[in-house]
Copies of this chain bind each other. A is one copy, B any other.
Amino acid sequence: MGRSTAPSGLGDAVGLSDEQLVGMYRQVALARAIDERMWVLNRAGRVPFVISGQGHEGALVGIMSAFRRGHDWIVPFYRSIAACLTFGMTPRDLLLAQFAKASDPSSGGRQMPGHYGSAAHNILSTSSPVATQILHAAGIALAAKLRGTDQVAVTFMGEGASNQGDVHEALNFAGIHHLPFVFVVENNGYAISVPASKELAVRDVAVRAAGYGMPGVIVDGADVLGCYPPAAEAVRRARAGEGSTFIEAKVTRLTAHSSDDQQTRYRSEAELTAERARDPLPRFRAQLRDAGVLDDALEAEIAAENLRQVDDATEHAEGEPDPTVDTALLYVYAEDRPPAAGA
């Protein structure tokens, strides 16, 4: 759906059509629009807490475009807004989590915002302790392999989290069993305030892949298109039974860690300004415009449509009811069913 009549050829080398490129742009921009809305709501006192993924969206959309929605599995973390969107969660779903309403499909308002999950979309429920999810992804991949489902499991975390013991144990297991598993580290150089130099003994986390007998690939997360081919190759390998892949995306964290954090306490103005150059959204936009895939009209149309969706989601979510006290004891165990359903 490029504006020029002839295909741009931009995605040819990596096997993406102009239509797919526009779709990817739409997702990056939508993720950003939702994310910005969350912060606006927080500043306005309408939601108490935000944690989000500005700066990470490009890598996620680039990588996730290689996966099969409704078939493969995502095991997300709190910066995975864009990844969840690519797998079918809607802006309404995400805002319902943000407002913690009863109809929030992720947790019915039980979890903090940003802890997404959806059984309908093969997105496993997120929890807060970092890195635990990598073992769940390995387990999903093990089940896919044993059951012969041809599914691939992909999981994400920050470079800080990647130092947790669970990561070592999961990669070792995935390596031994050649699991259909893809590990994505979103390296934004900080774990809250702790800079990479104090959280990581190496510059590139992906060098650790060699210790588990799997390829380690480094991609520039500001380059959406560049993130796709290694992911496509990882998925191919996984489906072919060739094993797991470790992808490190170098990204930038454009916001504070969360709404509870003030990053000016530990990042200089100069650094913050410089980092804005690594924002994937304007770069992807410029790339698509240069190639003629995107023009003013399409860009405006996408912006308007995204805004409409975000407005709709905000209004919908804010208007939904809170969960009620009579549901609070439900689902500790499988046998805890609502009284109505049991009657």
Contacts and interface: CB of A to CB of B under 8 A. Distances in A.
**Interface residue tally of chain A, by bracket?**
20 to 34
A298 interface: no
A202 interface: yes
Contact of A212 (B176, B201, B212): B201
A199 interface: yes
A176 B164 contact: no
Interface in A181-240: 197-202, 207-208, 210-214
Nearest to A166: B165
Interface string A150-186: 0000000000000111111101111110000000000
Contact of A168 (B168, B197, B199, B210): B168
A199 to B, nearest CB: 7
A171 B212 contact: no
14 contacts: A164-B165, A164-B169, A165-B165, A165-B166, A167-B168, A168-B168, A171-B201, A173-B201, A174-B201, A175-B202, A176-B201, A201-B212, A208-B208, A210-B210
Nearest to A165: B165
Interface string A244-273: 000000000000000000000000000000
A212 B201 CA distance: 5
Contacts of A213: 201-202
A255 B61 CA distance: 54
Given A202-B212, A211-B211, A168 B163 contact: yes
A173 B208 CA distance: 15
Contacts of A173: 201
Contact of A201 (B164, B172, B197, B198): B172
A5 to B, nearest CB: 50
5 A-B pairs closest in CB distance: A165-B165, A175-B201, A168-B168, A208-B211, A201-B213
Contacts of A212: 201-202
Nearest to A213: B201
A18 to B, nearest CB: 40
A169 B162 CA distance: 10
A172 to B, nearest CB: 5
A182 B212 CA distance: 21
Contacts of A172: 163, 200-201
A212 B163 CA distance: 10
Nearest to A202: B213
A167 B169 CA distance: 10
Contacts of A200: 172, 176
Nearest to A243: B201
A88 to B, nearest CB: 33
Interface string A70-113: 00000000000000000000000000000000000000000000
Contact of A199 (B166, B167, B176, B199): B176
Nearest to A201: B175
A92 to B, nearest CB: 38
Given A165-B166, A172-B163, A207 B198 contact: no
A211 B166 CA distance: 16
Nearest to A131: B165
Nearest to A244: B201
A133 B138 CA distance: 27
